Chain A
């Protein structure tokens, strides 16, 4: 059996994968940048934790409550801010993330404030985390391969043309934003029931930035890229513990490297599949063959 340290790492990866999957839909497919998704994660974490501890709700009910609250707040916030230009939307989400932190600290009677909220039952086991992460990615993948994913992509690629073929771009931005909030809220609920103790600091702007960076490094328009990048970027700093304090530096360098070497990201515009790998290998062979011919 795996050591509890290894189990913990896998659970952490799974939770991050769920949150990043939401950001991938929003940023990688719809082209909207948000620095507020850790705020939704905080909502999911606190709502589910309070439901479990104070209301003695079953785990599943707590999780669903967290997801629903994140969805409702996401819907309201999207309504107010998605009409703004991209950079203003980004600033609005950034503000939202801050507001969530402040509110959690302000309502310390319910949330425990800056001291944190403790005694959450440890319900997120290895298997639950793995199954839910795989399920979340599968749901997102199927959405991407449907008209919903196409409409997200149309918004990212060319809004004027999207509207001209009948796509209500505002509605699909709203949908992507609410979905990303739901995935974040879900991840937050699992997170709370894994660590058993949460403080607002765990869901600060750094966390939001990391989600976005993960998606950019993985490559826009590639869910598998986001997932791979999430696994790598979550594990590397953990495996090299001594470097843990340089985590942000590491992320920063990864982004700069990606922008310089592969501007469309690790897997930009490609999904990992056997067909794609075969094609890449053939292309590579073709390249070396033509090089040989030249020489």
Chain B
């Protein structure tokens, strides 16, 4: 097994509340891993810990052997973890394509002098960045709205734009926080196809938080189930679906919710 991410004994307390407790995870390169559980289970908190927005109160995290604990968010992103946000965080005032271009810092190798004098190096990098941004937007089916204001897009398109923006930074591990929220069944299935596609094309590993069980069961190689910050199950989709405590804590509840 070729592990890309290794988390051991991760914990986070907010005051007295234990949002994440003894969380461990090994991600195999190239896989899609699901993270599910009821509302408030601690899923988003784990993403925030992994991306340096929160700092853990216990445990270790490493990406390809590099320690992540204590690093700034931007540094973790530069090391190769990209993410989307459950509560969408686009640059709403800017155009769709500018949102993607903003994230292309890795492809801009020029310095300040190049920028001031618009040297050939500056022009070459900028042309490359624009071209790649357009390719990413086309890939997500947003090519037609690239000059619109990002904040004016419908919800589903905003979620897709967040994915395009995350990809522009060339991550090796992509964290998706409820990418199908607000999408109908058809759009969700389209998203599934898309996630598979980019995983392959960009040689990505994906960690996915999602409440749409059809999406999760369809796409994930393995799934971890959380409840009140604790891991109650970890296995392939079949095992998870058959697990008694998962049904009690979550799957039963979602069936109820959907009915």
Contact = CB atoms under 8 A, between A and B. Distances in A.
Contacts of B77: 163-166
B117 interface: yes
Nearest to A167: B74
B108 interface: yes
B94 A165 contact: no
Contact of B116 (A143, A158, A162, A168): A143
Interface in B105-149: 105-106, 108, 110, 112, 114-118, 122, 126
Nearest to B126: A146
A251 to B, nearest CB: 26
B74 A148 contact: no
A154 to B, nearest CB: 5
Contacts of A161: 85, 89-91, 165
Given A151-B105, A158-B89, A160-B89, A168 B117 contact: no
Nearest to B77: A166
A147 interface: yes
Contacts of B52: 163
Interface residues of B, number: 39
Contact of B105 (A142, A145, A166, A221): A166
A128 B43 CA distance: 61
Contacts of A150: 98, 101-102, 105
A165 B72 CA distance: 12
B103 A165 contact: yes
A148 B115 contact: yes
A165 B93 contact: no
Nearest to A171: B74
B96 to A, nearest CB: 14
A157 B92 contact: yes
B34 interface: no
A142 B94 contact: no
B78 interface: yes
Given A157-B92, A158-B90, A143 B112 contact: yes
Nearest to A154: B102
Interface in A129-163: 139, 142-143, 145-148, 150-151, 153-154, 157-158, 160-163
Contacts of B85: 160-161, 164
B169 interface: yes
A269 interface: yes
A168 B76 CA distance: 11
Nearest to A143: B115
Contacts of A269: 93
Contacts of A154: 91, 102
A147 B123 CA distance: 12
A150 B106 CA distance: 13
B169 A165 contact: yes
Given A162-B74, A164-B77, 13 more contacts: A142-B116, A146-B108, A147-B105, A147-B108, A151-B102, A153-B102, A157-B92, A157-B93, A160-B53, A161-B89, A163-B53, A163-B74, A166-B77
